[in-house]
Amino acid sequence: MRKPKIPRSFAEDKAHYRAPRGRAAPPDQREGLPSPDKLPDGTVRYFLKLGAKGRVLLPAELRAALDVNEGELITAWLKDGELRLHSHLHGLRKIRNEARALAQATGYASDALIAERREESLKGEEEAVHMRGARKRKRR
């Protein structure tokens, strides 16, 4: 036995956003967008379309290149009219590599600071000895 169909009323909550269900078209056949092209410097350029509520769908191959999955963080910034995106994990790796390169190139900053303070301390001691000697000479 089937349940009778109950008509929807205006008081019922409706979903705020409903995306069409079904398989996505291949990247080169997405709503007339050109396929990604590779620039001479090795950069791959994707054409994306701004959707409802300002949403942009990142194609699967772009998500794979960024190494991001649903729910992961993406860092974005805008500079001179250019939007840049990278995965949060990529940003952390980049910071770690820069810090490692700085440490290898110049040694640790703490070691440099300790050496500098020791030199200042030795100079201070030499000046103190010199000043004591000058005072003794004046007293005579």
pLDDT higher at 34 or 4: 34
What was the pLDDT predicted at 99?
86
Distance, C-alpha 48 to centroid of its chain: 21
pLDDT higher at 108 or 18: 108
Cβ 90 vs Cβ 76: under 8 Å:
no
* Mean pLDDT calculated for residue range 66-80: 88
CB atoms within 10 A of CB 68: 19
- For residue range 18-68, list pLDDT tens digits in order: 555 555 555 444 567 888 888 899 888 888 888 888 888 888 888 888 888
Which amino acid does the sequence have at 57?
L
Whether the pLDDT of residue 137 is over 60: the answer is yes
The total number of residues shown for the chain amounts to: 140
Q: With cut-offs at 50, 70 and 90, classify the pLDDT of residue 111.
A: confident
> What is the C-alpha separation between 76 and 53, in angstroms, rounded?
18
**Does an H or E element contain 74, and which?**
strand 74-79
The structure tokens listed for 51 are 């959707």
